[in-house]
Amino acid sequence: MSDSVSRVAVLGANGGIGRRLLPRLATAGYDPIGVVRSEDQVERIREAGAEPRLGDLEETFAPALDGADAVVFTAGSGGGTGWDKTLMVDLWGAKRAVDAAAQEGADRFVMISSRGADNPQAGRAPLRPYLVAKHFADRYLRQSGLAETILRPTRLTEAEGTGRVATTDGDAIPRADVAQAVVACLQDEATVGRAIELYGGDTPIADALRP
């Protein structure tokens, strides 16, 4: 665990990656904060070993980051929503999260982006608007001055984590392994300033993330 990070706020804590990340942060010795939109989600966050706080990426959420040393953005609009939600959550929400992290004094930021966000035009046509949103959210984070890491996983699955990934090419990746990669990034300052693609693979996560 990095000496400079102890409290980690997770935006999108009730999502597929966020739910898997909270207990891993607690196990690794961090003090996780799970930011959720609804009171109905509070108990689930508490059961995952995190402090639940209310915040809505489309409304008010900055106070929920109070006291955090690091912020992890795992939120997403989801495949069943329209492009309006993609803009408001994956782009505008991410931008506001970066601003809120800086405002609340959190220096470390890990962004869950997407493979293909570096070059949206090369992606499949139906996904290009989503990749454009991720591209500009990533760019904003890079220019923010925060100690940032961007993770760009390929297609996500519900499979059990393997603890192993690849960073150049490979198969779909379990959400559990993306969650563990976030923890590994927080533990390794050599990941700061990097955008890292993630695939299912055979290399232990901590080793795969090293430059």
Catalytic residue IDs: 130
Distance between CA 26 and CA 86 in Å, rounded? 30
Decide: helix, strand or coil at residue 13.
coil
Q: Is the dihedral of CA 129, 135, 138, 144 positive or negative?
A: negative
Looking at the chain, list the stretches that DSSP marks H as alpha helix, in order from N- to C-terminal side: 16-27, 42-47, 83-85, 92-104, 128-142, 175-187, 205-208
Q: Tokens representing 74?
A: 């795992």
DSSP for 102-146 reads HHHT--EEEEE--TTTT-GGGS-GGGHHHHHHHHHHHHHHHTS-S
Sign of CA dihedral 80, 83, 86, 89: negative
